[in-house]
Structure 1
């Protein structure tokens, strides 16, 4: 179900372009996934995104301020990410600054189910460990 959601977002995002038939490339799937995350973040955290785009700390006065206080959110390619002190660490960008996803959203639930299946139904701790490497 998560894959169908990602595929349909890629096809819907480019309404002015002709979508070639056939298989999708890895890069196209990754772009579609990031597009979905941007859409969900814009829907759930519009004030935080707007204030970070303007370059001010006014997100602290929004209804999400308690959730974001410890995260120190940053904006990267239109995505809310966790800030931090890991700039010089030799780990992936996702590990340095994981994408912030809201809880209790359909896309988030689909992502959890997908990762659970990808890790072979290995259990809750393994699933959360895999998810936290990127989100």
Structure 2
């Protein structure tokens, strides 16, 4: 599942931030836990940047940094700055066998914007509700 959420101030037509919400499932709860652990290791190992080739286009990542958060062992908050100046902040959180990923970017993409905790907790509540059915 993937969903875009655009934040636009009341009375304005110009968005200030865009959030991309993605929900994926792992084979098991332990596999989802391991994916978050692996991501934390990758963030630590790739702090000074790297190159990636998604969809055949090469992107150069200038830096990757973990942000302070209260997500605990089952989540991570981190920022990526591309060499071209684009700045994106991510929160990835494991909930059971699911992984919630939310990215946040400003309209200009030139500054970091935090992922609202309400987006993550809202998705956690939806997963809890689905599990109760």
TM-score, scaled to structure 1: 0.27
> Which structure has more helix as a fraction of its residues?
1
Does 1 or 2 have the higher relative contact order (CA < 8 Å, sep 6+)?
A: 2
> Which structure has more strand as a fraction of its residues?
2
TM-score, scaled to structure 2: 0.27
